[in-house]
Amino acid sequence: MDNKAALRQLLKWKREELNPADLGWPPRSGRGRRVPGLSQAQVAQLLYVSERTYRLLERGEMASPSAEFLDRVAEVLRLKERERIALYVYALGHEPPHPQDPLAGKTVPHAWHEAVGRVEGQPCYVNDVAWNVVAYNDDFVRMFPRTPHAEPAIPERNLMRYMLLNETAREHHLVNWGTEWAVPLTAQLRNAVAQHPENADLQALDKEVAADPVSGPIYRANHVAYVHPNGDTRRMRYPWAGPPQEERGVSRCCRDHEPSHEGDVTMCAATPLGSPGARFFLLVFKPDLAGHQDGHDT
């Protein structure tokens, strides 16, 4: 099926799902049109365009319809987000630049919280479009550096703020922070701020990071094009909670934190369908097992 046929099928199907009586037209009586749903003329009336204009779109014969017009069509025909994406793809050949729902990317269905919480053995979490953590498992909580005898805890709900502005992250947790972490992280932030100018959390992060004496110069000078870290491998420390006799490769980053492994963490990323901009991450950590020491207190 080509794009024209797919577009025609999508719009015709959505028209037929709507009852004209629910939108203010009187119930049909007597002879006349018996096809269910809205007519093309009724859709055109709701869009405040001529019937010919709407017919051109439904036939796939409208050259480059504007995003504003397609969004009006999606609203009138009550398209769900996945149907709106299909509308754009069939009409323009690409997905919409922004989600229709202003909360899209900020929340995930409850099932994600339950699914993520049941994962054992690997840290995993879901963050929204502004890097606020919205779901996570116990292994994720345990991966942050902690002081002796302290209970595991997430030091900062916003992961980008933690990774770029928190001294513990920069000096103890994220190894080789300046070379392996800071450049791709600031590039990600720059891209997200440009893509979501309406997001207050991202705009606040933009100002905080730009003003920071450590991250700010990197952020302001960063022109790297970088969108997501799927498949990236970087150095990190992971707290050790095992018995002393198995402390092979375990060291201390400093006197203030519990012993930890240094090793490589690979980030496996995916997008929860229905939450554009949100990310699901599974972190695969492989510790150094050769007794690596990093020059800090041991």
- What pLDDT digit, counting tens, does each position of 139-168 carry? 999 999 988 888 889 999 999 999 999 999
Give me the domains of the chain, ranges plus CATH numbers. Answer: 3-92 (1.10.260.40), 110-287 (3.30.450.180)
In this prediction, residue 30 carries a pLDDT of: 56
Mean pLDDT of 224-253: 75
pTM of the model: 0.69
Spatial separation of the C-alpha atoms in residues 140 and 16, rounded to whole Å: 47
Residue 89: both structure tokens together: 């793809």
Mean pLDDT of 252-278: 86
Identify whether the C-beta of residue 296 lies closer than 8 Å to the C-beta of residue 171: no
Residue 162: both structure tokens together: 């933690």
In this prediction, residue 126 carries a pLDDT of: 94
Among residues 139, 86, 93, 96, which one has the least CA distance to residue 116? 139
Beta strands in the chain (DSSP E): 124-127, 133-136, 233-239, 250-251, 260-270, 279-287
Spatial separation of the C-alpha atoms in residues 284 and 232, rounded to whole Å: 11
Higher pLDDT, 103 or 177: 177
Which tens digits make up the pLDDT trace of 53-72?
999 999 999 988 999 999 99
pLDDT at 246 over 90: no
How many helices (DSSP H) and strands (DSSP E) are in the chain?
Answer: 12, 6
Beta bridge partners of 261: 238, 250
